[in-house]
Structure 1
Amino acid sequence: MKTYQHYINGALCDPASGEWFDSENPYTGEVWAKIARGNAEDVDRAVTAAKATFDGEWGATGPTARGKLMVKLAEIIEREAVRLGEIEVRDNGKLIAEMGAQTKYLAEWYRYFGGLADKIEGAVIPSDKPGIFNFTRYEPLGVIGMITAWNSPLLLLSWKLAPALAAGNTAVVKPSEYTSASTLEFMALIEEAGFPAGVVNAITGFGMEVGAPLVDHPHVDKIAFTGSDVSGQKIYEAAAKKIMPVTLELGGKSPNIVFEDADFEAAVMGAISGIFAATGQTCIAGSRLLVQRSIHDKFVKRLVEVAGVAKIGDPMSTETHVGPVTTMPQYEKIMDYINIAKSEGAVCVLGGDAYRGAEAKGKQFVQPTIFTGVHNQMRIAQEEVFGPVLSVIPFDTEDEAIAIGNDIVYGLAAGVWTSDIGRALRMSEKLKAGTVWVNTYRAVSFTSPFGGYKRSGEGRESGKESIKEFLQVKSVWIAQQTTAANPFIMR
């Protein structure tokens, strides 16, 4: 059985508490690793190390040198991508086809932001003040606390770590207690790439024991968090007490909207991808499927046909379509919402129960589930389930689709399926979501910003805009003459 330690100041170390906790394989239900159980003392050691190298060696490392280290890290990631993907599947139970693709894609974030590291430029400002030279410069914030979710540990970490390192910051990472292994394995790659000790540190453990001390630590200068909106709100409140910036990538209840003029089969596959890929355990899940009433019945029939033959089972098999739910608490939450939907009067046309087939070794499998007869005020349509549960809502007009789509506290993503380019542009403008996909779904890239409106978050990750989330701007004024000015008035 593998035992994972903390990674602090370039070295593996035991937790200060001397305690460990189990990591279970969601597919088999078996314990496969022991994870260090951190506490505030471990956090303080990690933050102290990160601050020391920020003030010292890393702070003195030029942007071009930083970029070269990141490009080297990208090369190492490519070499280790298959192994990292397998570790993530063992830890979170998502499909190897999904996690393997993610770990192979990780390198692009470090290569892209490594290239941006020496292209962070201020500006000379034409001043209206005679004899004054005014310019701006962008500077790193300092120590960034990074708290990641269990559904895509390394991808979500890379969205934060790559721009933060390119900007010149250091980091203390707290992965989910459910999926810590791949992050700790990743630390060895950081070390091999040649990053100075203390630039990236990883502390594992539970939210109140590690996450809260990390947020509250006086030398942490920003928190970048991915997780539930409830946890995000608590972090936001704690950060506000320190007047500390945050990036929050939170929940979603995304509308996936199908018009009658859409490519029918492509839209069916897009709806399936939007909710049943990753067992629905993704913040961008298209969990509200809005279908124009003229094609509603035909569309639902085809949807049930396709989803009904999805193969459930071993996530390590490339033939599997739906794997286990990652955690037992999440499994129980999904089952509760299925029962809530039934009690609200929604009609279950597919699934609606646990899956107990021969392929389900563990006890955390849920049948792909589709509800019709849903209206947008039902809890099943308003609250994030984070599982393979789809609510189908009919609509008649474009305006009605927009109204239903926006009638939610979230605003992370939306999908639109239509052959009308004018409609596509109108919908992309009027839907209140950080990402709008048209005739596709679940597409992300290192080149494109990602984040949410409303309760779905604060700030953006990925794309060149995101590097400024980890920088602060300074305005510098230089007088070009030595003549004394009147000290009693503002220049």
Structure 2
Amino acid sequence: MPIAGARPLELTGRAVREGAVPDPIDGKVLRSFDPATGEWLGEYVVDDEASVDEIVELARDATPWWAPATTRERGRCLMRWADRLAADAKELAVLLHRELGIPEHECHPEVLAALERIRASARHAERILRRHRIAAPSPRELDTTVTYRPYGVVGALGSWNDPLWTTVGVIADALAAGNTVVFKPSEFATAVGKFLVDAFRVANSAAYLNVLSIVYGDGRTGAALCRSGLDRVAFLGSLVNARRVLALCAENVVPVHISRSGRGAMIIADDADMAGAVDAAVHGAFGRAEYRIEVVYVVASARARFLEELRTTLERDRGGPAVSRAMKTARAIEIVGRHIDNALVLGATALIGGYGSVRPPFVDPIVLVDPADESLLLTERTPGPVLTVRTVPDVDEAAHLVNRDRSVSSATVSSVRHGTALAERLVAECVVVNRGLPRSQELSPGPLEFALPRCVIGGESGSTTMPAWVMRFTYLSVLRKLLMKYDMDDKLRLYRPFAVLSAHRRSEPEMYEGKA
């Protein structure tokens, strides 16, 4: 059986030769490499189905003592994890830069944001998951008290383009809610994933070894994890892969949380603060925003000002966000090249970059203006430092185009007078007005996503979404007290709704006689 661990790589060869990007999986070995220099970073044994099942069972064995721990105790474990990562922040930032090709100046803020994300889960879990009461809407119904319990074992499938902030958020939320977690990082971000898990194990005692586990591999390992009897799956990635995960989890009816990556869009109105709009566009398109801006819709009356300000900013700030990126996968390089060629052939104008901007494994910043409607830049997602600017007659047309594009998951609006009104018209997961697309606690799922609500005293109020056995327990536990307050006619009339849920276990006369 393969060992779910890593061993130091003794080879000193190069992964990238003459611009080629290799497949990280070689038989039963997964190799991590630096896409910019081609140097190997680590070697890991791929986990097969038997190994995955064993690791999931070890995580399940840790659930009986991890789940009953208080949120404060679990929060202390998360705080120790964050402190350990903070102590190794420089090392993590260097690893992030080397394995993902992220510019160095963006890696340190990325690490700091991840630390705050873990600490936020630790600080707020007790408040979010605390026992609370729901008042009955009428005197004939009952107040309900709700508590939360963890699912059990959560499988986290990480993404390669955002392996830190979003990943630690999902893991921290699941742990804070009392679940154990089996984490499968992307095969293109394995070293970063292992660093996170190792930091948790170093920060906490050996007793917490199986609270957070890791498995290595590609999509086949992820499929084995989805079929391994998990209680919940959290997936981070593209819509295409999300469909595959949903299909796999549907085989055993495993609930899934999807944090899908999507296209970011921006609308610039004629009354926009142009300096602020350009800054948001540059950082949203070329920086490490939570949702990368791929398309900017600018009204015709503001087009000239925006393009001039954008060109000036990019030429002036050459060391800023708009720098060359080392692409991690050969497919990503192929997509960028194909989309750029397609747009230029169909009449797009190159404001920055062009045909020569794709230099495998690097892609230089590219800004293309007004591609044709059928161009791939507008119909498909484009990885890398590529920004598309499209001119529209007015904001109504811009809003229509944003809402029509199903791949848009976030948007930002730049309008001094009508920003909020325009934002309310957009159908997107997140809409930001007059600023970029920052990371925020509100964009993450939170501990409630990984905790099951349970009505422990209850009544009809607020209980219709609970499992049937929970509703029976709730109703029967208070039935005898209710019947003591009414005469015979009221007893029968009040009792009938409860009898529907419980008739298969006790007859109505038996329960009325106090045998429930």
Are 1:181 and 2:191 matched, yes or no? yes
- Conserved? CA contact 2:357–2:366, under 8 Å: no
Alignment size in residue pairs: 449
Q: In structure 1, what is the Cα distance between the partners aligned to 2:44 and 2:109?
A: 25
Q: In structure 1, what is the Cα distance between the partners aligned to 2:139 and 2:357?
A: 72
* Partner SS for 1:257: strand
Q: How far did 1:433 drift?
A: 1.2
Q: In structure 1, what is the Cα distance between the partners aligned to 2:90 and 2:412?
A: 31
Q: Which amino acid aligns with 2:77?
A: L
1:268-302 Cα offsets, whole Å, 9 max, x none, are 22222121225xxx772211111110121332233
Tell me which residue corresponds to 1:352.
354
Tell me which residue corresponds to 1:224.
234
* Partner SS for 2:424: helix
CA root-mean-square deviation: 3.0
CA, structure 1 residues 306+193, in 2 after alignment: closer, same or farther (shift >3 Å)? same
- Conserved? CA contact 1:6–1:184, under 8 Å: no
* Aligned sequence identity (%): 24
- Conserved? CA contact 1:253–1:383, under 8 Å: no
Are 1:42 and 2:40 matched, yes or no? no
CA, structure 1 residues 301+221, in 2 after alignment: closer, same or farther (shift >3 Å)? same
Q: In structure 1, what is the Cα distance between the partners aligned to 2:3 and 2:285?
A: 35
Q: How far did 1:489 drift?
A: 4.5
Q: How far did 1:75 drift?
A: 1.7
Q: In structure 2, what is the Cα distance between the partners aligned to 1:253 and 1:19?
A: 34
Tell me which residue corresponds to 1:290.
297
Q: In structure 1, what is the Cα distance between the partners aligned to 2:27 and 2:334?
A: 31
Q: In structure 2, what is the Cα distance between the partners aligned to 1:262 and 1:169?
A: 46
Q: How far did 1:252 drift?
A: 1.9
Q: Which amino acid aligns with 1:143?
A: V
Determine which structure has the larger helix proportion and give its number.
2
Q: Which amino acid aligns with 1:51?
A: R
1:62-87 Cα offsets, whole Å, 9 max, x none, are 22211111122222221111111111
- Conserved? CA contact 1:144–1:172, under 8 Å: yes
- Conserved? CA contact 2:344–2:371, under 8 Å: no
Q: How far did 1:164 drift?
A: 0.6
Tell me which residue corresponds to 1:398.
395
Tell me which residue corresponds to 1:437.
432
CA, structure 1 residues 480+130, in 2 after alignment: closer, same or farther (shift >3 Å)? farther
Tell me which residue corresponds to 2:453.
473
Tell me which residue corresponds to 1:200.
212
- Conserved? CA contact 2:325–2:364, under 8 Å: no
Runs of 4+ displaced beyond 6 Å: 128-133, 482-488
Tell me which residue corresponds to 2:17.
none
Q: How far did 1:337 drift?
A: 1.3
Question: Which residues of 2 match residues 449-488 of structure 1 at below 5 A?
Answer: 450=443, 461-462=444-445, 466-476=446-456, 477=474, 478-479=477-478, 481=480
1:75-131 Cα offsets, whole Å, 9 max, x none, are 222111111111111111101221221112222122221122333123334567989
Tell me which residue corresponds to 1:321.
323
**TM (normalized to structure 1)?**
0.84
Tell me which residue corresponds to 2:370.
373
1:226-278 Cα offsets, whole Å, 9 max, x none, are 11110011112222332222121223222211122222222222222121225
Q: In structure 2, what is the Cα distance between the partners aligned to 1:216 and 1:248?
A: 17
Larger Rg: 2
Q: In structure 1, what is the Cα distance between the partners aligned to 2:36 and 2:117?
A: 30
Q: In structure 2, what is the Cα distance between the partners aligned to 1:373 and 1:320?
A: 20
Q: In structure 1, what is the Cα distance between the partners aligned to 2:322 and 2:139?
A: 68
1:351-389 Cα offsets, whole Å, 9 max, x none, are 123448xxx8xx311121122222545331121112222
Q: How far did 1:51 drift?
A: 0.8
- Conserved? CA contact 2:314–2:322, under 8 Å: no
CA, structure 1 residues 5+106, in 2 after alignment: closer, same or farther (shift >3 Å)? farther
1:305-328 Cα offsets, whole Å, 9 max, x none, are 43356648xxxxx99833312222
Q: Which amino acid aligns with 1:99?
A: C
Tell me which residue corresponds to 2:161.
151
Question: Which residues of 2 match residues 62-101 of structure 1 at below 5 A?
Answer: 62-101=70-109
Q: How far did 1:36 drift?
A: 2.3
Greater mean deviation of Cα atoms: 324-333 or 124-133? 124-133
* Partner SS for 2:258: strand
1:369-414 Cα offsets, whole Å, 9 max, x none, are 1222225453311211122222211122221221122120123111
Q: In structure 1, what is the Cα distance between the partners aligned to 2:182 and 2:375?
A: 40
Q: In structure 2, what is the Cα distance between the partners aligned to 1:319 and 1:248?
A: 28
